[in-house]
Structure 1
């Protein structure tokens, strides 16, 4: 007789399946909606809401897209770490439908229902993951719980401001959460890149440097905290302190990157994608210095972080996790190559568009945005074409999960 897990639809057996599928669909659809707005097809506001379109775009990319991928990853990883699946069946369906409701209600302008639905997903995932980690006493992963809790509370802050019209800046929620998810990338990359690289590339030996890892995370987190508040007026002393911290973080992460021997990464395409995403991390820290001198716009650095580092890391990880956890070999095929190339082009074109000289030429600026959006959409369409069947069907190796 089959056990209860095997009787569930494959999509509801473990967290990565519905959340990776939903995140990819929403990434594609939300950028289509954003492009419609930019071309004047949906007015100043998105959908039926009174939220400015740019704020909707930022919120949905962070709390819609990035959160869903993070939720799927942690629900799956915590099951592996503890031997207990934190959410499956109806519980998992509830979390996914709450997340979906947040997207729909926000778009249609019902902020109260959007807040209830979205926050149920945020705190529901947090409780599910925390329950199994705390029960298993995996104290090493408490930092991950903190990094999951902070965006939930920042999303709460966002909705309170928008519903009550309190005169605070809602962009603090999206940019603060972007910084938190960026730290999540720094932490997870330090755990998986050395191990995956050593296993996948012959004769590659990466020397553990725990002190370097700790300093990199410390100064990285401090830099991102300062960057979040650097949008507001700073004293000359604080501005100089920010530049110093940004510089130290950039150097430490570059040193960390070199310790992983990136010149060997090209020997495995799936590994190379992880290294490429970390390259964007280093660029982002150096870009913070340029931003502090007003040499680049803040929007440019936001896209260095979001579209460069985080989205590329997401592309690399959802392919890897989806293959590995559905019993398929973790190899770079034509679809994966297309996905990674499209994500890289999307980031490059969006960053080129952020230069003031290009922004001043409206036709060129719009063309670059359209090119970036098209690459992003094509990349996720390719992922869905290949991986949606993986996520919705039984494992290829016949195992449960």
Structure 2
């Protein structure tokens, strides 16, 4: 017997369906636009954005476009599971998707005021939808997620206020700020899901629980990200040594937390290993921040390890896991998933090498590595779309609602 939920098109039943699909499509299209833009490396415009360097368009769309779509899909689905209330389905979910799409189109066209209206409108509407069900279910523990979600929403507003001349700051600030929030969101959620998912998938894997260490990792991570943000503009020697000390301590704390999860066993299951790999990049990110604070590496290296290494690897693992789990399919890695994970890993390694100053000194070497990294990223998400596009657009394999 068909229920009201069953009567909805599959794409409009749960938030992960349209937003994971949109995120995958935009990952391919936006990086392709960035890759093929003949003026991108000279700092000239993309699309109709006359006063915005191309690299900032890329940074904005990777954070407020691609990553926000993934977070939307994850939180709309997770909050439904936590609370028992679906925060967005049917027409309302369709409106959310339309706001996101129009934000992308108007921003590319250079129409900043409509772009701000639709883009920030999407952020705030998503925030309201998730907050409503969390409060309705009295899930006070999850209010930290609401707080974290509110930060990139207001940072996106700041970005548009800067672009329209209302605020006198650097447009890179809100982009890096949003990346830092998504980075923190990654190790917050990882601390909740890895100790649950890993033993379920690998019965012989033993997890050591340490609530004090979990709190220390969150606190030290938050302090480190705050210092990382202000260190870009406060470059005194004292600040540099303070940052170095805090970043190294944070990396040690997260390394201890990571070791409690028995990472050696994760190699036995690719869907688990990709989550562990993401956390390993988190630890490496803090180490790179320490090197950056001593001016031993460029800031772009830290930025890309955070975004392409830690956050994107977590995104890859969760998009596959959530889609398979919520469409009634076995949670396992097949050929498409392996291509997805391997290509993202290659993309990260190539992009990391491209940020070495000696490599950047050679335009030919830099462009070759940059294009190779972008190509691997695109191939990875094409593999995801090829395999998961049908899953997202069709009914559940087990015949259940959702």
Q: Normalising by the residue count of structure 1, what TM-score does the alignment of the two structures yield? A: 0.98
Q: Secondary structure at the match of 2:127?
A: helix
* Shift, 1:38, TM fit: 4.8
**Aligned position for 2:22:** 22
Residues 211-230 of structure 1 mapped to structure 2, 5 A cutoff: 211-230=212-231
**Aligned position for 1:358:** 359
| Cα deviation 1:333-359 (Å, max 9, x = unaligned) | 010001000000000000100001111
| Cα deviation 1:125-173 (Å, max 9, x = unaligned) | 1000000001110001011001100000000111111112532112110
Residues 2-401 of structure 1 mapped to structure 2, 5 A cutoff: 2-38=2-38, 44-50=44-50, 51-164=52-165, 166-401=167-402
| 1:98 and 1:121 in contact (8 A); partners too | yes
* Shift, 1:239, TM fit: 2.1
| 2:11 and 2:17 in contact (8 A); partners too | yes
* Shift, 1:175, TM fit: 0.4
User: Where do 4+ consecutive residues of structure 1 move more than 3 Å?
Assistant: 38-43
* Shift, 1:241, TM fit: 1.6
Q: Secondary structure at the match of 2:240?
A: helix
Unaligned runs of 5+ in 1: none
* Shift, 1:41, TM fit: 11
Structure 2 Cα separation of the partners of residues 289 and 37 of structure 1: 33
Q: Normalising by the residue count of structure 2, what TM-score does the alignment of the two structures yield? A: 0.98
CA RMSD of aligned residues (A): 1.3
Unaligned runs of 5+ in 2: none
Structure 1 Cα separation of the partners of residues 323 and 288 of structure 2: 32
Structure 2 Cα separation of the partners of residues 381 and 170 of structure 1: 30
Structure 2 Cα separation of the partners of residues 137 and 241 of structure 1: 40
* Shift, 1:229, TM fit: 1.4
Structure 1 Cα separation of the partners of residues 43 and 162 of structure 2: 23
Structure 2 Cα separation of the partners of residues 69 and 14 of structure 1: 13
| Cα deviation 1:230-264 (Å, max 9, x = unaligned) | 11133332222211111111000011000000011
| Cα deviation 1:249-303 (Å, max 9, x = unaligned) | 1000011000000011011111011101111000000000000111110011100
Q: Secondary structure at the match of 1:164?
A: coil
| Cα deviation 1:171-230 (Å, max 9, x = unaligned) | 110001100000100110000001111111122221210000000000001101110111
